A = this chain, B = another copy of it.
Amino acid sequence: MGEDMSNKTNSGHFFEDFKVGQSIQHATPRTITEGDVALYIALTGSRYAQFSSQKFAFDVGFEVAPVDSLLLFHIVFGKSVPDISLNAVANLGYAECKFLRTVKAGDTINSQSEIIGVKENSNGKTGVVYVRTRGFNQFGKEVLSYCRWVMVNKRDANHPAPRAELPNLAPFVAPTDLVAPCELKPEAWDCDLSGSKYSYEDYEIGEKIDHKDGMTVEEAEHQIATRLYQNTAKVHFDGFGMKASRFGKRLIYGGVVISTARAIAFNGLENAGQIIAINAGRHVNPLFAGDTIYAWSEVLDKVEIGGGWGALRLRLIATKDLPCDHFPLKTESGDYLPDVLLDLDYWVAIPLRRFMQIGV
């Protein structure tokens, strides 16, 4: 480095920089506004009534309209990228994601992470880092907590491997840890306005839903969305640099896949707008601009959680360029089909029937 050159640029952390127990306050707190909410609708096509209408939200029991859990998730996640995953090779998985408090437009969110595990890979060039990231509001209250693990490059392949430490992650968020989004008012959830008469009671374990609609994603769309979340991972934005990558082009942020699939999933899950936990998630194949996302869901479990709400444990499968009327998932040998993008296991809140007002 020449004497007139700066060392102020963040080059991100490498595998050997991460120590178990280390805590990181991420930069760029964000006040979520009505502008962000409008953009989230415009970028995903979300139609869940409680996020779209202040009046609907108030009438059913919210103080004001909540912000979509996924918009919150992406914002909290985005802040962690410069510190955690700027040099990530791959985002391997999520677990123990809990939405703890309702967030509304006007709230200011910041994001912190703790390193909870490290394990060098046998190739000696990369390692897996496990982090727990938490989002906090302007009052310092925790609104979101999740774990993820990423494969990160080592700066120096000769750096000795640390002692492997793996976190003990729950296979799914326990029903007792689920937080109801609000106290629902009896018979207040207007099914004509929400778009469906199906309540918690109507969904059965094992039921599969083909959401039918398809959504093509353009370069401009995923870039605008990912910047909205202030996620800076180079792979999403640097088209010139990505020509030299193994894909030869920009990769779409996995959160765009999740949000698009969830917007598509409105068709068949109209009253199940609010994600309250993510048990596990894997991006099993990459998405590129020009691909069309389709999605289907399976009901894995169900439980009442109080406040007038039940929770459905859903598996959400997103595909590319493959409609889901046959519920595509894996090959006979048990591998994911190359058309499958996402395998997400999450809990969503849905009103009990007696809190709904079924149209006449």
Interface residues of A (CB under 8 A from B): 4-6, 8-11, 25-31, 33-39, 41-45, 47-49, 52-56, 65, 82, 106, 108, 110, 138, 192-196, 198, 202, 206-216, 218-221, 223-225, 227-228, 230, 232, 234, 237-241, 250, 267-270, 290-292, 321, 323, 359
Contacts and interface: CB of A to CB of B under 8 A. Distances in A.
A308 to B, nearest CB: 20
A359 B47 CA distance: 42
Given A37-B35, A208-B6, A216 B230 contact: no
B8 A209 contact: yes
The 4 closest A-B pairs by CB, nearest first: A35-B38, A27-B195, A216-B239, A214-B238
A79 B241 CA distance: 36
Given A34-B33, A223-B218, A212 B39 contact: no
B25 A49 contact: no
A27 B14 CA distance: 48
B29 A198 contact: no
A128 B292 CA distance: 31
A9 B209 CA distance: 7
Contacts of A11: 212
Contacts of A239: 214, 216, 290, 292
A32 to B, nearest CB: 9
Contacts of A270: 27
A238 B322 CA distance: 11
Contacts of A44: 227
Nearest to A228: B42
A10 to B, nearest CB: 6
Contact of A45 (B6, B55, B230, B267): B230
